[in-house]
Chain A
Amino acid sequence: MIELYKVSKTVPSGTEKLTILHSLDLVIPDGQFVSVVGPSGSGKSTLLGLIAGLDAPTGGEILLDGEDITKMSEDALAELRSAKIGFVFQSFHLIPSLTALENILVPMEIAGRRDAMERARQLLKDIDLVARAHHYPSQLSGGEKQRIAIARAFANGPSIMLADEPTGNLDSTNGRHVFELMVEMNKRGGTTLVLVTHDHELAEQASRRIALRDGRVVNDSDHEKREPVQTEETIGVAAS
């Protein structure tokens, strides 16, 4: 379960401070597929980065499976990511000096899994790229790169999958393919999936839809389930 309580993020911008997230509360139960939409600069990617422990919030608490990650050291966070979190980026971020197979292998090697090679080959089969095993990222197409990135993200069987506009750099055919692959692998593993996207069509397929604007939640399809007071209070505090 992912729990965010009064999470805010401010960054210095020139002489002034820029608030990216305003005291945000959010609870995502296990296995839920959540899409996050909103215009550029609304705080979508920052939210995702905070959940993955890639960045520290300015205030508030973030709990993953009941554990507060805001108090963790860099190395402890790295270990947490290795065990629980998969991440897919818009611009793939494969390691250019490693082959497709090796890119999938790396997270399992970091985790010290003995069956790393076996599983990496299986994952390659799952994403239908066995023929590309020994190609370097520069020799792969965009769609292929993203599929490798997805296999890499799922390698350690994470309980949480975070995807930051995974189809943003792909044409619609490839985008659809990648999206379907992700949803399928998500279902198979019973993983919590948080998907940041611009594509409303994709967003609609999620079981819960959250809209952000200027660092605030302006719409949550699960809204009814939550206590309205809390939401109003949140907005109230942020506005004051």
Chain B
Amino acid sequence: MRFILNMARREIRSSWRRLLFFFLCIGIGVGSIIALRSTIQNASHTVAGEARSLLTADVQVDSTRPWNPESLAAIERIARPPLVEAKTETIDAATMVRPADSSGEGATMVELKGIEPLFPLYGEFKLADGKSFDPALLDNGGAVVAPLLLERLQLRTGDHIKIGESTFQIRGVIDREPGSGGGFRLGPRVFIARTAVEATGLVGFGSRARRRVLLKVQEGALETVVQNLRAELKGQLVTVNSYKDAQENLSEQFARTENYLALTGLIVLVLGGIGVSSVTRVFIEQKRESIAVLKCIGGTGKQILAAYLAQVIALGLAGSLLGVALARCALIIAGHYFAQSLPPNMSYGLAPGAIVQGVGLGLLISILFSALPLLRVRHIKPNMLLRDEDESGGLKRRRPDLLRWLTGALVVLGLLLLSSWQAGSLRVGLFFLGGLAATASALYLAALLLVRLVRRIRHIRSFALRQAVSSLYRPGNQTHTIVMAVGLGAFVVMAIHSLQTNLLKEIDLARRTNLPNMFLIDIQPDQKQGVEKLIEAATGVRPELIPTVRARIFAINGREIDLEGREMRQERGRLGREYVVTYRPRLEANETIVAGKFWDAQSSNEPEVSIEEGMRGLAGLDVGSDITFDILGRKMTARVTSVRRVDWRNSRTGFMVLFRPGSLENAPQMLVAPINGPEGEPQRSRFQRELLDQYPNISVIDVAEVVSTVGRILNNVTLAVSFLGGFVLLCGVLILVGSIAMTKFQRIYEVAVLKTLGAKRKVLLVILFVEYGLLGMVAGLIGVLASLALSYAVTRFVFEIPWTFSPLVSFAGILLTVLLVTTVGVVSSWNVLTRKPLAILRA
């Protein structure tokens, strides 16, 4: 044991410089995993810890339609002291706001929230002037608004705004509002008194509004209250949530995000592992003589193996600890520069769990990837000291090495367990490892092919070219390692880039084509003609107004939907939601029938529906099923006669449920107008203003604004992922530099001999350029091809959007890889060229 430790310690003394680059890779991989996990865990703790302030209550009862008296009575019965200490109601809806002053420009969509004096039951509500929110501000037509609204409509505190038919005075600007999770919003927030909402006359948003009863519950009574509420409100199409549920949901979401991001960190680590594997191989190769000597003076194979394994463990540990330091730095930087996109009050310390995981991973990856090359120690025969020739090669190959295969299998299993552990799922781990293995094998095969190919063409005229080519397959060459490391780096970076461009293109499509870029909703039937005229005047096109009816699924095939029931809970989102349905005699151009038969153009008294393919199979839905709809309290049963496929990308509007004309005409309905609004920001704003002045109940969703919001979110995500991609590339470069450093001793000797034989520096340079140029080309080509495959698969099968190929970008990717590899290669080998040959030859 003492021999093993002493030997490891002494060897590290001389070898650490050569192994430095690879353990830097381990450090970067470990660092990115720890930093990512810590950040997300910290955010998760902060957010989940504030779940109560996010919900602004202990318990929330939530309804998307006006309260019916039964529900209210039920809540009233339970929500009493002492169990429930406080109760308040809110109403939320997206609606339009415009300046009250007729000379004021524009109009914009806002997220309106009507509150009562007790709001919020939990959480901080602060105004821009530093004071806390005072409910009295909302009395007699007061409003408190987000700064963005002032900016959009060029208003100031004290100005008046119109919502529907009511006028409100802006009395305060929000600095921090309770219950804002920083999620996606259709417009800036506006608070008014709940009682004032009715007065706006916006019955139109009646069913789009979300009404909530918020409760503050006595300590320890949470479960009882939630259970009682659920029991009492069964079948009422309302949901009851406690802050504990919210906490669990949030934690789960964060955990999932954490695991996916950690996988990117794992790629960096695996790259480091490939580096470790290659360095160990070359290292052992260079240590052959020392190992033979050790065997000669009595060291057993096991002892020597253990001594080298101890070195790997020590360096892996050092790399991992470096990773911890890197992660600490990364978090300090994140705290300085990205604080506004992260939750406030978040800590920027390292999470202990993440440190343990990161260091453990770093060690395990080091051991797993060095295991196979270390086994070579066993095959080094002490007899080589007596005779120079290498006789180990030919004799060994005949017998399959059981231990080697066993170790190989263990390594694969270990990697699978590691990636499954990191992904939090065996399936994802399997996919991850499979994808990585596929790319790595493609790169490995490409390198193999390259070596085979260049062996064939060794009779090139040019001496420099021939030398360059032969150095790709010299003994101990790093061709495979360089191609794999750089190729994987190029792969990740290019895949991210390609995905991003495709996604952005898809979103931008909304702007480029003639798809509607503005939706007018909540148009009353009697406003139809007036609105049509107004739109035609503004855009020059007569719009098509589509009737819509809001309906819920009450029962399928006679079976009532029980949202609390076990089997329904999973489908709650799809079964419990309110569907916006329409009726028309024909299919749209973007619709095709996939099952059943579409109706004739005539109306029919028998209710008939066509469902979108996504609904098929939901609680057994198919052609021939009966769906009982609840349309504002009225029940109507319709037969499913066909299933449609809707090409959502080319749709002006899309409907999951389509009725045959004849049965819905008399249901309470509202019209929607998908239009192409006027061009230019001021024109669009002015048009909305004009519309609202005449028809205050109408809401306008401006797609252009939504697209810019989504674009911003996407940019943040891309930035984060690109950052990681950059790490992957950095690792690739480090491995490249390391690989070159590893073979330097060989190269120095070779160059010295060539110089002695009269080679000029120019020739030597050409050799370097060609060698690394070839390596870079193969790595870049395969990396880019693999990235295209990945981005194609993800774009088509995950996002389900069309995929576009940009040859210029791919070409640039390959070119950049070639440039990078050549530059790094030539620069790292520079001192080889400048050394004087005599000293090297003498040594």
Q: CB within 8 Å of B: which residues of A?
A: 11-12, 45-46, 48-49, 52, 54-55, 74-75, 78-83, 85, 87, 89, 93-98, 102, 105-107, 109-112, 138, 152-153, 156, 164
Q: Is the CB of B301 within 8 A of A95?
A: no
Q: Which of B276-310 contact A (CB under 8 A)?
A: 289-290, 292-303
**Residues on the A chain within 8 Å of B3, using CB:** 106, 109-110, 112
Shortest CB-to-CB span from A217 to chain B, Å, is: 19
Shortest CB-to-CB span from A123 to chain B, Å, is: 14
Identify B383's interface contact among A12, A55, A94, A152, CB under 8 A.
A55
Binds A, one of B10-18, B503-511, B781-789: B10-18
Q: A45-B387, A48-B386, A112-B2 are in contact. Are A78 and B300 (CB under 8 A)?
A: yes
Q: Is the CB of B299 within 8 A of A78?
A: yes
Please report the C-alpha to C-alpha distance between residue A168 and residue B295 in the assembled complex, in whole angstroms. 23
Q: Which residue of B lies closest to A92 (CB)?
A: B293
Please give me the 3 A-B residue pairs with the lowest Cβ-Cβ distance, nearest first: A82-B298, A109-B3, A97-B14
**Residues on the B chain within 8 Å of A105, using CB:** 6
**Residues on the A chain within 8 Å of B387, using CB:** 45
Identify B297's interface contact among A45, A96, A110, A112, CB under 8 A.
A110
Please report the C-alpha to C-alpha distance between residue A48 and residue B843 in the assembled complex, in whole angstroms. 29
**Residues on the B chain within 8 Å of A95, using CB:** 290, 293-294
Q: A106-B3, A112-B2 are in contact. Are A78 and B385 (CB under 8 A)?
A: no
Q: Which residue of A lies closest to B298 (CB)?
A: A82
| 15 contacting pairs across A/B (C-beta < 8 A) | A11-B391, A49-B383, A54-B381, A54-B383, A54-B386, A55-B381, A78-B300, A79-B300, A89-B385, A89-B386, A93-B296, A97-B15, A106-B3, A106-B7, A164-B386
Q: Which residue of B lies closest to A82 (CB)?
A: B298
Q: A87-B297, A95-B294, A96-B290 are in contact. Are A109 and B302 (CB under 8 A)?
A: no
Identify A87's interface contact among B7, B296, B302, B381, CB under 8 A.
B296
**Residues on the A chain within 8 Å of B294, using CB:** 95, 106, 110
Q: Which of B1-49 contact A (CB under 8 A)?
A: 2-3, 6-7, 10-11, 13-15
Q: Which residue of A lies closest to B291 (CB)?
A: A95
Which bracket fits the contact residues of B?
Answer: 20 to 34
Query: How many pairs, one residue from A and one from B, have CB atoms within 8 Å of each other in the complex?
Result: 89
Please report the C-alpha to C-alpha distance between residue A147 and residue B164 in the assembled complex, in whole angstroms. 102
Q: A55-B381, A93-B289 are in contact. Are A110 and B303 (CB under 8 A)?
A: yes
**Residues on the B chain within 8 Å of A152, using CB:** 297
Q: Is the CB of A81 within 8 A of B298?
A: yes
B188 within 8 A of A: no
B654 within 8 A of A: no
Q: A93-B289, A97-B13, A97-B290 are in contact. Are A106 and B383 (CB under 8 A)?
A: no
Please report the C-alpha to C-alpha distance between residue A102 and residue B381 in the assembled complex, in whole angstroms. 22
Identify B10's interface contact among A46, A54, A75, A102, CB under 8 A.
A102
B408 within 8 A of A: no
B516 within 8 A of A: no
Please report the C-alpha to C-alpha distance between residue A89 and residue B300 in the assembled complex, in whole angstroms. 20
Q: Is the CB of A107 within 8 A of B386?
A: no
Q: Which residue of A lies closest to B12 (CB)?
A: A97
Q: Is the CB of B298 within 8 A of A83?
A: yes
Q: Which residue of B lies closest to A49 (CB)?
A: B386
Please report the C-alpha to C-alpha distance between residue A159 and residue B11 in the assembled complex, in whole angstroms. 30
Please report the C-alpha to C-alpha distance between residue A95 and residue B729 in the assembled complex, in whole angstroms. 37
Q: Which residue of A lies closest to B843 (CB)?
A: A138
Shortest CB-to-CB span from B254 to chain A, Å, is: 48
B335 within 8 A of A: no
Q: A93-B293, A97-B11, A102-B10 are in contact. Are A75 and B386 (CB under 8 A)?
A: no
Identify B386's interface contact among A45, A82, A97, A102, CB under 8 A.
A45
Q: Which residue of B lies closest to A196 (CB)?
A: B386
Shortest CB-to-CB span from A79 to chain B, Å, is: 7
B382 within 8 A of A: yes
Please report the C-alpha to C-alpha distance between residue A94 and residue B292 in the assembled complex, in whole angstroms. 11
Q: Which of B10, B302, B843 has the most CB of A within 10 A?
A: B10
Q: A49-B386, A110-B303 are in contact. Are A54 and B7 (CB under 8 A)?
A: no
Q: Is the CB of A111 within 8 A of B383?
A: no
Shortest CB-to-CB span from B314 to chain A, Å, is: 15
Q: Which residue of B lies closest to A93 (CB)?
A: B293
Shortest CB-to-CB span from A75 to chain B, Å, is: 4
**Additional 14 contacts, C-beta under 8 A, given A49-B386, A78-B298, A109-B2:** A54-B296, A55-B383, A75-B300, A78-B299, A82-B298, A87-B296, A93-B289, A95-B290, A95-B294, A97-B13, A110-B294, A110-B297, A110-B298, A138-B843
**Residues on the B chain within 8 Å of A106, using CB:** 3, 7, 294, 297, 299
**Residues on the B chain within 8 Å of A85, using CB:** 298
Q: Which of B289, B294, B386 has the most CB of A within 10 A?
A: B386
Please report the C-alpha to C-alpha distance between residue A206 and residue B544 in the assembled complex, in whole angstroms. 116
Please report the C-alpha to C-alpha distance between residue A74 and residue B383 in the assembled complex, in whole angstroms. 12
Q: Which of B361-399 contact A (CB under 8 A)?
A: 381-383, 385-387, 391, 394
Q: Is the CB of A98 within 8 A of B10?
A: yes
**Residues on the B chain within 8 Å of A49, using CB:** 383, 386
Please report the C-alpha to C-alpha distance between residue A164 and residue B388 in the assembled complex, in whole angstroms. 14
Please report the C-alpha to C-alpha distance between residue A12 and residue B394 in the assembled complex, in whole angstroms. 10
